[in-house]
C-alpha cells in the first residue's frame, strides 16, 4: 500500500475526514513496522530510546501511536532497515528474517570443522 503523497493525489475526491483516517492508518502501519524492525534487530525499547536521545516513554509513543516524519531516517539507520520500508512497507526493502537457531547451528558446525582441521577436536 503506497500512501506517499496521499493528500495531494486525492485532494478534491476524498473528504478531509477520510484523509485523516488514511493518514492515521498509514501512521499505524509505520508504527507496526518500527516495532517489527526493533524486535528483529534484537534491540529493546530502552536501547532505541537511548540511541535517539529520548526517554523510553517517548519512544514507546513511536511504536504505539505516531512517529514524526523527521525521525524516520534516523530510526531506519538505528534499526538497520530501509526508510522506504518503514514508510511504505515495500516488500523489496523488507528486512531479512534471520533465524538465530540456524545461525548458531552454522557457528557450531564451523567451530567443529576448525577444531578438526587444527587437530584440537575432542575425539
Tens-place pLDDT, residues 57-87:
999 999 998 888 889 999 999 999 988 888 8
Mean pLDDT throughout 101-111?
A: 78
Residue 69 has a pLDDT of 85
Mean pLDDT throughout 83-111?
A: 73
Residue 75 has a pLDDT of 94
Residue 52 has pLDDT above 70, yes or no: yes
> Bigger pLDDT: 33 or 117?
33
- Collapsing DSSP to helix, strand or coil, 11 comes out as strand
List, in order, residues 6 or more apart from 79 with CB less than 8 Å away.
34, 37, 38, 41, 43, 48, 95
Distances (CA, A) of 113 to 100, 119, 121: 20, 10, 9
pTM (two decimals)? 0.60
As given in the structure block, the three cell numbers for residue 122 are: 575432542
Q: Which domains does the chain have, with CATH numbers?
A: 6-95 (1.10.260.40)
Tens-place pLDDT, residues 26-45:
888 899 999 999 999 999 99
Question: Using an 8 Å Cβ cutoff, are 33 and 89 in contact?
Answer: yes
Question: Using an 8 Å Cβ cutoff, are 37 and 66 in contact?
Answer: no
4: left (phi over 0), alpha (psi -120 to 50) or beta: beta
7: left (phi over 0), alpha (psi -120 to 50) or beta: alpha
Amino acid at each position: 500500500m503506497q500512501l506517499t503523497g496521499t493528500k495531494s493525489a486525492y485532494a478534491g475526491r476524498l473528504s478531509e475526514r477520510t484523509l485523516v483516517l488514511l493518514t492515521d492508518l498509514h501512521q499505524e502501519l509505520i508504527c507496526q513496522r518500527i516495532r517489527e524492525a526493533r524486535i528483529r534487530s534484537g534491540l529493546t525499547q530502552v536501547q532505541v530510546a537511548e540511541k535517539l536521545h529520548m526517554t523510553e516513554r517517548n519512544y514507546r509513543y513511536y511504536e504505539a501511536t505516531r512517529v514524526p516524519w523527521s525521525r524516520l531516517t534516523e530510526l531506519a539507520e538505528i534499526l538497520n532497515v530501509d526508510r522506504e520500508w518503514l514508510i511504505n512497507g515495500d516488500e523489496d526493502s523488507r528486512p531479512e528474517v534471520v533465524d538465530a537457531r540456524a545461525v548458531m547451528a552454522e557457528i557450531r558446525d564451523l567451530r567443529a570443522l576448525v577444531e578438526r582441521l587444527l587437530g584440537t577436536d575432542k575425539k
